[in-house]
């Protein structure tokens, strides 16, 4: 198979970064929404979970219809980017009604299912060798794109909150157009696109290697998005206003460094060991939270940056392990279904921790996020333990 043109990875990275930028738009402007409409603090969890639930619905439908395997991934990415941008704009127009905004955020999540997993599908087509490194850049773009709404809010702190939605909607649309216009179509393997292969999806449970990476990923998802949702609350113990937005962008966005460095590291010691080390480190950050929440500013900042790096840095390696071990003709469907289940776990975790945060201190709650990484490292044992 001929090597990928030099432009492929940069285009994929930029398109992914822009395409997922609407993900945390509500989180970036929640204080303004609470002030303008009198919403409760717990509503941020509900609105975030709406995006996750929409994503789950989208990934399930895409998996059942084998969309990523049967149709041009470039076209799917383009259409979903444009639709996600439109839903983001509709959220601005209907923000006065919590129920309507909830609906549009759910729809936004649905179309994100045609961006994040489909971007990984395109990467797996162009980079069948060294996929961990390519996905390090790609999911690094996902992390930075997800954090970008906080940066937009920090830059425009004096402007109306709707500016954040308008900016990320425009970015998402441009990302889809960029990918479609700049990347050629990659020939699909013979036999791909014949429809959903139920036996192939069953490899999530029946194949020992696939099962190990998948259940490690599930432990990772228990922690990841809940940590991201709680970061503004953690920072609010010391910061406010634009400083808080910049700090939130830094803590979330630094995960891109973890993804890229993890991809480089994986080429030397393997994806499974990189995933295990980063998962273990982020779990340790959870466990140490009661002490570090009370630490001096320098140690507090170092803790959050290390947590931001490691909580996201293992994501590409889980995707690479699953893509490499899944049946070749059903990689897109397997990745999509696994993402769907993982995001279901994230919804449970977000709702649980946001609800508990109204009645309990963060120092009491955060160590329980470490339960996911602990179980994830244990599940990964067949892949990283020396034989």
Q: Which helix (H) or strand (E) segment is 139 a member of? A: helix 131-155
- What span, in angstroms and rounded, lies between the C-alpha atoms of 42 and 316? 30
DSSP output for 243-306 = HHHHHHHHHHHTHHHHHHHHHHHHHHH-HHHHHHHHHHHHHHHHHTHHHHTTS-HHHHHHHHHH
Q: What predicted TM-score, i.e. pTM, was given to this entire model?
A: 0.87
Do 69 and 332 form a contact (C-beta atoms < 8 A)? yes
Per-residue burial over 67-77, b if 16 or more Cβ lie within 10 Å, else e, is bbbbbbbbebb
pLDDT value for 372: 96
pLDDT value for 189: 54
Token pair, residue 13, equals 């990275």
- What span, in angstroms and rounded, lies between the C-alpha atoms of 48 and 266? 31
pLDDT value for 191: 47
- pLDDT averaged per 10 residues in sequence order, the chain, 387 residues: 76 94 94 88 90 92 79 92 97 92 96 88 76 76 92 91 96 96 73 53 75 92 96 94 94 93 84 92 97 96 97 88 76 75 93 92 96 94 71
pLDDT value for 127: 79
- What span, in angstroms and rounded, lies between the C-alpha atoms of 109 and 233? 23
- What span, in angstroms and rounded, lies between the C-alpha atoms of 197 and 217? 22
Residues 6+ apart with CB under 8 A from 364: 290
pLDDT value for 321: 87
pLDDT value for 201: 66
| Per-residue pLDDT tens digits for 245-295 | 999 999 999 999 998 888 788 888 888 999 999 999 999 999 999 999 999
pLDDT value for 197: 57
Token pair, residue 169, equals 């909607």
Domains and CATH numbers, the chain: 8-183+201-384 (1.20.1250.20)
* Other CB atoms within 10 Å distance of the CB of residue 4: 18
Do 85 and 175 form a contact (C-beta atoms < 8 A)? no
């Amino acid at each position: 198979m001929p090597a990928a043109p030099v432009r492929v990875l940069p285009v994929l990275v930029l398109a992914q970064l822009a395409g997922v930028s609407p993900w945390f738009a509500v989180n970036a402007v929640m204080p303004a929404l609470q002030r303008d409409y009198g919403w409760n603090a717990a509503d941020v969890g509900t609105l975030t979970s709406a995006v996750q639930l929409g994503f789950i619905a989208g990934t399930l439908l895409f998996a059942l219809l084998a969309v990523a395997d049967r149709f041009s991934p470039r076209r799917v990415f383009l259409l979903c980017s444009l639709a996600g941008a439109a839903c983001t704009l509709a959220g601005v127009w209907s923000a006065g009604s919590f129920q309507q905004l909830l609906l549009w955020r759910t729809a936004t999540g649905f179309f994100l299912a045609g961006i994040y997993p489909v971007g990984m599908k395109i990467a797996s087509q162009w980079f069948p060798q060294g996929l961990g490194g390519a996905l390090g850049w790609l999911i690094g773009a996902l992390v930075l794109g997800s954090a970008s709404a906080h940066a937009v809010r920090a830059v425009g702190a004096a402007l109306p909150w709707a500016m954040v939605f308008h900016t990320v909607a425009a970015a998402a649309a441009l990302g889809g157009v960029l990918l479609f216009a700049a990347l050629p179509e990659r020939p699909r393997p013979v036999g791909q696109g014949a429809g959903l292969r139920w036996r192939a999806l069953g490899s999530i449970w029946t194949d020992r290697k696939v099962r190990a990476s998948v259940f490690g990923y599930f432990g990772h998802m228990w922690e990841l998005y809940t940590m991201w949702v709680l970061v503004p609350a953690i920072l609010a113990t010391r910061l406010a206003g634009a400083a808080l937005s910049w700090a939130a962008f830094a803590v979330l966005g630094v995960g891109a460094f973890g993804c890229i460095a993890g991809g480089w590291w994986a080429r030397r010691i393997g994806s499974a060991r990189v995933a295990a080390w980063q998962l273990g480190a982020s779990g340790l950050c959870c466990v140490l939270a009661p002490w570090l929440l009370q630490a001096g500013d320098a140690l507090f900042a170092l803790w959050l940056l290390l947590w931001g790096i490691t909580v996201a840095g293992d994501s590409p390696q889980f995707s690479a392990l699953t893509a490499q071990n899944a049946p070749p003709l059903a990689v897109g469907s397997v990745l999509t279904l696994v993402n769907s289940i993982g995001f279901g776990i994230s919804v449970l975790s977000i709702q649980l921790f946001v609800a508990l945060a109204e009645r309990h201190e963060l120092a009491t709650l955060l160590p329980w996020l470490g339960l996911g990484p602990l179980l994830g490292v244990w599940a990964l044992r067949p892949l990283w333990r020396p034989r």
